[in-house]
Amino acid sequence: MQEHDHDHDHSHLDEMDLRVRALETLLTRKGLVEPAALDRIIETYETRVGPHNGAAVVARAWVDAEFRQWLLQDATAAIASMGFGGRQGEHMVAVANTPDTHNMVVCTLCSCYPWPVLGLPPVWYKSAPYRAKAVMDPRGVLADFGVQLPASTQLRVWDSTAEVRYLVLPMMPPDAKGLDAAQLAAWVTRDAMIGTGLARAPQAPASSAPSA
């Protein structure tokens, strides 16, 4: 699948813009789609469903041992109890990172991804480099993301070939100890829940004053 090559892009993108406009116009005129329904779908994934959902799940598992156990035993139910579920997350499995084992999730055949907890997948997840490399050289993929783990760490790659969707439960950084779930959610990145990153302290805002 092609990455965005800038020179080639403009005529291709103008063509797609016209093509999709014509298609949507046709389907509306034929009564096959309701424009307000299309808007609602877009709005759902732009605002309501995104990685903030997964971050809340992970943060809760970090502070609540009983919830963590439920999440690892029946992720679909545990995640549903927080109000998340549905399309592309009907059958969830949570996989926990440990000091010995690091998990990574991929869909080599297309782009299967746990939408209810992570929203829509990023371009890199759906593209050939990741799909090709994750199952053959996961340590190399981590290096592409600037992540280095001890050579003895077991890498466990999950290829999502069916409708089961995987959520990585990253380890809680030691520095995060003592924070509550709401604060901890900011430590959980989207990439940490895919397995191409680690949980880390929230990025300081650009306008923050320098430390004394």
Beta-ladder partners of 56:
none
Structure tokens at 189: 């990145």
Strands (E), the chain: 91-96, 101-106, 154-159, 164-169
Chain-centroid distance of CA 120 in Å reads 7
Of 64, 77, 99, 128, the one binding other proteins by CB under 8 A:
128
Short-list 114, 207, 121, 124, CA closest to 169: 114
Minimum distance of other proteins from residue 154's CB (angstroms): 5
Taking CB under 8 A as the binding criterion, the range among 12-20, 54-62, 170-178, 180-188 that sits at the site for other proteins is 12-20
Cα 173 → chain centroid: 19
Q: What are 104's strand-pairing partners?
A: 157
Stretch that binds other proteins, among 53-61, 65-73, 103-111, 201-209 (CB under 8 A): 103-111
182 counts as binding other proteins under rule CB under 8 A:
no
124 binds other proteins, rule: CB under 8 A: yes
Half-sphere exposure in the Cβ direction for 200 (13 Å, CA): 10
Find the shortest distance in angstroms from Cβ 180 to other proteins: 28
| Nearest alpha carbon to residue 62 among 158, 154, 199 | 199
Is the Cβ–Cβ distance between 103 and 168 less than 8 Å?
A: yes
Considering only residues 143-162, where is the footprint of other proteins by CB under 8 A? 144-145, 151-162
CA 52 vs CA 19, 57, 73, 193: distances in Å: 33, 9, 22, 11
Site for other proteins, residues 52 to 81, rule: CB under 8 A: none
Residue from 56, 57, 93, 94 binding other proteins (CB under 8 A): 93
Q: Which is nearer to other proteins, 172 or 194 (CB)?
A: 194
Q: Does 36 bind other proteins (CB under 8 A)?
A: yes
Rounded to whole angstroms, the Cα distance separating 37 from 33 reads 7
Catalytic machinery residues: 107, 110-112
Q: How many CB atoms lie within 10 A of CB 120?
A: 15
Binder among 139, 147, 171, 200 for other proteins (CB under 8 A):
139
Q: With CB under 8 A as the contact rule, which of the stretches 38-46, 66-74, 172-180, 198-206 interacts with other proteins?
A: 38-46
Q: Least distance to other proteins from the beta carbon of 172, Å? A: 23
Q: Which stretch binds other proteins (CB under 8 A): 52-60, 61-69, 89-97, 181-189?
A: 89-97
**Chosen residue from 27, 63, 147, 179 binding other proteins by CB under 8 A:** 27
Closest approach, Cβ 32 to other proteins, in A, equals 6
